[in-house]
Structures are given as C-alpha cells and as structure tokens.
Amino acid sequence: MAEKYHLISALVENRPGVMQRIAGMFSRRGFNMENLSVGPTENKNYSRITITVSGDEKVLEQVVKQMNKLIPVLKVRELTEGESVRRELALIKVTASRADARTEISQYVEVFRGSIVDISPDAMILEITGDPEKIDAFVRLMQPYGIKELTRTGVTAIHRGFKSVRDSVK
C-alpha cells in the first residue's frame, strides 16, 4: 500500500515525560512523525496530542497499537479527512518594503481570512489559520515576495459531530 499521511489524535495523561515516551517510541521503531501539536483539553488531567504520521496502513496500525501500549496514553484514534476538522496556524514574515507589494499582500490575507499582526518598514508578519493545504497554498503565494521566516504550529484536529476520541474512556 502506498505511503500517505495519517492524522492521529491521542488523549494522554497530563504529566511530565509523556511526550518523551511518545517521541522515543517513534524514533526507536522507525516511525515518521511529520508534525505534531500538544495542548490542554476540557479535562485538566489530560492533554491532547495530534500527530501527522507518514506510512502505509500497516505502519499506521503499528503506530496506533504501540502508542496504546504506553501507559500514560488513554486513547488513540486516526482522524480521517472526512470525519474531522483540521486546523493549523502559521506565522509568516514576508519582505515587503514596496507599497504595491504591501497592498497585494493585504488583499491575499483578506481572501485567506488571515490577519496582519505586525508591520515594520521592511517586513510584515501574517497570521493564517486553516487546514494544512490552505496554508501551503498561502505560503506559495507569498514566496515571490520573499519569506524571511516561517513557523507553523502543526496540525490539531477534532471529530466532527458529537463523536469524540474520549468515547469509551472510562
């Protein structure tokens, strides 16, 4: 089966060392972590980790099983594209000293429903939120102006509808 990206959402105990356990397991078993995001959840005892993994179905199955084996991991689920909302945030510093360039960039930002968060004589910092493909598209648009620096948060995601990764956690 072909290599592809899988989005994995894991509910984990909010304790020190949990990320180290997960990252260590990935490197030890040769799994590829493309990006990740971590943060608190509705329950202060738990954190949510969202990881983008590349590999075939067999790799995905092993990643989920091996993550489940780690004691502080409560629940692991793949979130497929159709059943989940995915978001990522990017901060992009573009070179923009010319007035016409600034105008164009501002228009693009508006179309992408982003915002200009900082402006200086030679540069602008833009904030864009969306699924990774939308951010990729915006980054491509900005390249001709000159991207001085770029940072992305990694993808975070949640089930659509009433379903949740937590279901079946006691």
Partner 1 sequence: MNGAEALIRSMEKEGVKHIFGILGGSIMDVYDVLYDNSSIEHLLCRHEQVAVYAANGYAQATGKTGTCMATSGPGACNLVTGIADAMIDSRPVVAITGQVPTTAIGGDSFQEADIIGITMPITKHNYLVEKIDELPQIVKEAYYIANTGRPGPIVIDLPKDVQRAEIKNYNPPKTVVLDSYDPVYKPHPRQIQLAVKELMNAEQPIILAGGGIIISNASAELVQLAELLGIPITTTSMGKGCIPEEHPLALGLIGMHGNKWSNLAVQNADVIFAIGTRFSDRITGNTQHFAPNAKIIHADIDPSEIGKNVRVDIPIVGDARLVAKGMLEVAKEATKKEAVRLKKHTEWGKKLEHWKKEFKQETRFDSIPIKPQRIIYEVQKIIDKNPKSTIITTEVGRNQLWSMHYLNIRYPRNWMTSGGLGCMGAGFPMAIGAQVARRDCRVLNMAGDGSFQMTMQDLATCTNYDLPIVNVIFDDSSLGNVRMWQALFYNKRYSQTDLNNNPSFEKIADAYGAWGKKVERPGEIAEALQEALKSGKPAIVDIVSDRDENVYPMVPPGGILHKMIE
Number of residues that bind partner 1 (CB under 8 A): 21
Residues 46-105 that bind partner 1 (CB under 8 A): 58, 61-62, 65-66, 68-69, 71-74
* Close Cβ partners of 140 (under 8 Å, ≥ 6 residues apart): none
DSSP 59-111: HHHHHHHHHHHSTTEEEEEE--TTTEEEEEEEEEEEE--SHHHHHHHHHHHHH
Tally the C-alpha atoms within 13 A of residue 27's C-alpha that lie toward its C-beta: 5
C-beta of 45: minimal distance to partner 1 in Å? 9
For partner 1, give the closer residue by CB, 62 or 95. 62
| One character per residue 5-44, x = contact with partner 1 (rule: CB under 8 A) | -------xx---x--xx--xx--x----------------
Dist CA 5 CA 33 (whole Å): 10
For partner 1, give the closer residue by CB, 21 or 102. 21
Q: Please, which residues bridge with residue 95 across strands?
A: 123
Contacts with partner 1 by CB under 8 A lie at 12-13, 17, 20-21, 24-25, 28, 58, 61-62, 65-66, 68-69, 71-74, 169-170
